[in-house]
Amino acid sequence: MKTICIYFQLHQPFRLKRYRFFNIGRDHYYFDDYANEDILQQIATRSYVPANRMLLDLVNQYKGKFKVAFSISGVALEQLEIYAPEVIDGFRELAKTGSVEFLTETYAHSLASLYDPEEFRNQVKHHSDRMEMLFEQKPTVLRNTELIYSDEIAEMVYDMGYSKMITEGAKHILGWKSPNYVYQAATQPKLKLLLKNSRFSDDIAYRFSNYSWNEYPLTAEKFISWIAGTPAEEEVVNLFMNYETLGNLQPSYTGIFEFFKAMPRFAFENGIGFATPGEALDMHKPIGAINVPNPISWTDEERDLSAWVGNKLQKSALQSMYEIGERVRLCTDRRLKQDWLYLQTSDHFHYMSTKHFGGGQSQFSPYMSPYDAFNNYMNVLSDFIGRVKAQYPDTVDNEELNALLTTIHNQEMEIKRLQAELKKVIGTNEEMLVEKNPKAQKAEN
């Protein structure tokens, strides 16, 4: 049976406030709380809250046969907990149905997989633990920031214990192949891959309300007929999109909610089912491997990394930030570690992109220009680096830091081992006391 796999990405960055050169060394708070709260609450009202309610109704209406999946960045989760806790409650209700899967990703929605493998591992674990705590699900499928993937990243992901991942079905990678199958990584055959069907996903996410599109208006019946018309042997159609598609990027007056409400009915009438990414990857065997020597993403026509590393400004900012990663991991200052996460968010570097300046996605940037974004970020980063160096000066080189990190890690392992042994000894002594003095034990009972 042909299957539809729907996945939504939910992410909001901690936007930076206007931070001048003269603030460096004086002001250590970097974030625009007013803008972050205002934007998040607006989007939650227009999109997240009504979308959660609609999806819960659909799951209940079709008795769990309708299924979806989410990946929610850690920085978005933190803002939702502060500014829109009702959205978290909605996700908890969805999690309880058993028909909604939560994926894991980098906690900070960062580019760590490209620059700092240790940071990448730490963030994925941090995010997975947070998802399990909030929604009582341990994620089994990994979704890297912006669906970024390469053969090298595949090896890192598998070494972290994951055997399932989702990414972009980029045309320049697939060639004549269809994205509607399960694939495997070329460098790690045990890592199974689910690929986004860009045509069908973008029909909803970008073209749905485009009056000049020759398929406008898009109805659920028409859309499902396209999926039903794909070759019978093609197993799974992956619709991956931003959660803001529902109600924000495609406002409610466009009919986007009605479209999604009607989709399951037409799918089931055509013998098409729904599955989460984890289920789809379990149900189907890979039909072959895909080679991705250079990283891909789901952004822009090129489906590459140029939106974040396409110019010297972006590369300079990224290099300056990740150079201090080892020093930050050494510190125990909670505020410093928190700022480190927030400053890694990919959005900061996307705002520096010159690809769309004057059009395209530049409308989402809070800055007047990419150069304004770069200057503001580098002022913040300069202050942050100063705080890091105050704890770990430049006189300590990276080799010394690595040695110190190894020593600290070994000490932590030894402490845990000794604590475990002490626990055993205490337990043994208590048992011996009970055996020697059973009367005292009975008296206590």
- CB contact at 8 A, 378 and 112: no
What backbone torsions phi and psi does residue 31 show, to the nearest 5 degrees?
Answer: -110, 150
Task: Find, among 137, 11, 8, 113, the residue nearest to 70 by Cα.
Answer: 8
- Residue 243's Cβ-count burial label (10 Å; 0-12, 13-18, 19+) is buried
- CB contact at 8 A, 318 and 112: no
Q: Which long-range contacts (CB under 8 A, 24 or more apart) does 339-343 make?
A: 339/30, 339/384, 340/384, 341/74, 341/75, 341/107, 341/108, 341/110, 341/123, 342/13, 342/14, 342/30, 342/31, 342/75, 342/108, 343/30, 343/377, 343/380, 343/381, 343/384
Q: Is the dihedral of CA 140, 142, 143, 149 positive or negative?
A: negative
- CB contact at 8 A, 73 and 116: no
**R_g of the chain, CA atoms, integer Å:** 25
- CB contact at 8 A, 321 and 120: no
Calpha distance 52→93 (Å, rounded): 9
**Residue type, position 21, single letter:** F
What backbone torsions phi and psi does residue 319 show, to the nearest 5 degrees?
Answer: -65, -45
Residues in the chain: 445
Catalytic residue among 146, 168, 235, 279: 146
State how far the alpha carbon of 321 is from the alpha carbons of 148, 223, 327, 343, in Å.
19, 44, 11, 8
Q: How many CA atoms lie within 13 A of 437 on its CB side?
A: 7
Extract the tokens encoding 343: 């400053």
- 146 as an active site residue: the answer is yes
Extract the tokens encoding 207: 């073209």
- CB contact at 8 A, 273 and 65: yes
Residue partners of 316: CB distance under 8 A and separation at least 6: none
Calpha distance 168→170 (Å, rounded): 5
Residue partners of 155: CB distance under 8 A and separation at least 6: 185, 187, 188
Residues annotated as part of the active site: 146
